Amino acid sequence: MLEIKNLHVKLADEDKVILRGLDLSIGAGEVHAIMGPNGSGKSTLSYVLSGREGYEVTDGSAKLLGEELLEMEPEARAAAGLFLAFQYPVEIPGVGNMTFLRTALNAQRKARGEEEVSAGDFLKLVREKAKTLKIDAEMLKRPVNVGFSGGEKKRNEILQMAMLEPKMCILDETDSGLDVDAMKLVSDGVNALRDAGRSFLVITHYQRLLDHIKPDVVHIMAAGRIVKTGGPELALEVENNGYADLLAEVQA
């Protein structure tokens, strides 16, 4: 599904190198988790994959279903099936949440040569998906993320994911700012989307999210590289012992 090879990235307007030869391979239907200390480059990886400006790829490649992502515009990556659930979902005053969802859905369909969804069908679909995420009609009417609580913003991200049905989902610290109940709700939303044809990359600091969204593979990232890869037990090890021991072991 996603094949990242030797990815090197620096900040576009500074000489700061963030990713230093990152390799990652995620198969169809798999759930991978990336953990790592602050500043290891986890969020940068998600931004670079989704096409945010301000980063310069100096080497390497990232392919989604064989297509080079790094050469595409952000909207083309989305149409190709990539979705990033933001750590800090963006507030857009003046754009209604419904308008936003429908515009995005139809733009992707158009880009793929599919027919646009009618207003009626869209409404039915969004109501059904919103209900399971406990998103009420009021939240759908409001401007995108404006006045939403931290939990509401994250639920709104998952709603977008459910509507857009991407193939490769990246969740960037989706657990940050969530209470226990909200985390369960969001995780249930994600688990409902797990499918043989859909893969997930879950970026998190805490093992707790991984109790809800059970990963197949766990990676530890440090200084812009994957330094260790293992099963779900690796996340428990981090939870119990912290990164220090683990990183010392890798460096040794």
Partner 1 sequence: MTIQQAKADALAARLGAGAEGQGGSTQQSWLGAAQAAALARVQGMGLPGKRDEYWRYTDPSTLNVPKALSAALFDNRGEPRPFSAVDRLKLVFVDGVFDPAQSDSLALEGIEIERLSQAAANPSHWAAGLYGTLEARGQTPVERPFAALNTAQADEGVLIRVTGKPSRPVSLIYLRKSVDCDAILHHLIKVESGAELTLLENGPAAARLSKVMEVEVADKGRFHHVRTQGRDHDRRAISHIFARIGAGALFKSFTLTANGRLTRTEAFIELLGADSVAHIAGASVGDGDFHHDDTVFVTHAAERCESRQVYKKVLKNGAVGVFQGKILVKQGAQKTDGYQISQSLLLDDDSQFLAKPELEIYADDVKCSHGSTSGAIDDTALYYLRSRGVPLKQAQSLLVLAFLAEAIAEIDDETIAEDIRGRLEAWLHRHEHAGNGQ
Residue 86 in the binding site for partner 1 (CB under 8 A): yes
Q: Which of 139, 149, 104 is nearest to 122 (CA)?
A: 104
**3-state SS string for 137-196:** HHHHHCEECCCCCHHHHHHHHHHHHHHHCCCEEEEECCCCCCCHHHHHHHHHHHHHHCEC
Any contact of residue 115 with partner 1 (CB under 8 A)?
no
Closest to partner 1 by CB, 72 vs 236, is 72
Give min distance, CB of 145 to partner 1, in A.
9
CB of 170 to partner 1, least distance (A): 10
Pairwise CA distance, residues 162 & 153, whole Å: 14
Give the three-state DSSP class for 7.
strand
- How many residues belong to the site for partner 1 (CB under 8 A)? 31
Residues 6 or more apart in contact with residue 235 via CB below 8 angstroms:
33, 35, 207, 210, 215, 218
Provide the 3-class DSSP secondary structure of residue 131: helix
| Burial readout 193-214 (b: 16 or more C-beta within 10 A, e: otherwise) | eeeeebbbbbbbbebebbeebe
User: In terms of CB distance, is 10 or 77 closer to partner 1?
Assistant: 77
In whole angstroms, how close is the CB of 171 to partner 1 at the nearest point?
14
Q: Does 78 engage in binding with partner 1 (CB under 8 A)?
A: yes
72 near partner 1, rule: CB under 8 A: no
Interatomic CA distance for residues 44 and 85, integer angstroms: 13
Site for partner 1 in 170-229 (CB under 8 A): none
Cβ proximity to partner 1: between 13 and 53 the closer is 53
100 near partner 1 (CB under 8 A): yes
What minimum distance in Å lies between the beta carbon of 61 and partner 1?
20
15 binding partner 1? (CB under 8 A): no
- The least distance separating partner 1 from the CB of residue 112, rounded to whole angstroms, comes to 9
Interface stretch with partner 1, choices 17-25, 28-36, 46-54, 189-197 (CB under 8 A) = 46-54
Of the candidates 68, 71, 75, 114, which one interacts with partner 1 according to CB under 8 A? 75
Nearer to partner 1, 125 or 223 (CB): 125
Which DSSP string do the residues of 13-42 spell out, in sequence order?
TS--EEEEEEEEEE-TT-EEEEE--TTSSH
Q: Rg of the chain's alpha carbons, rounded to an integer?
A: 18
Minimum distance, C-beta of residue 39 to partner 1, in the bound complex (Å) = 21
Task: Give the tokens for residue 107.
Answer: 């733009």
- Contact footprint for partner 1 (CB under 8 A): 50-53, 73-75, 77-79, 83-84, 86, 89-95, 99-100, 103-105, 107-108, 111, 143, 160, 164
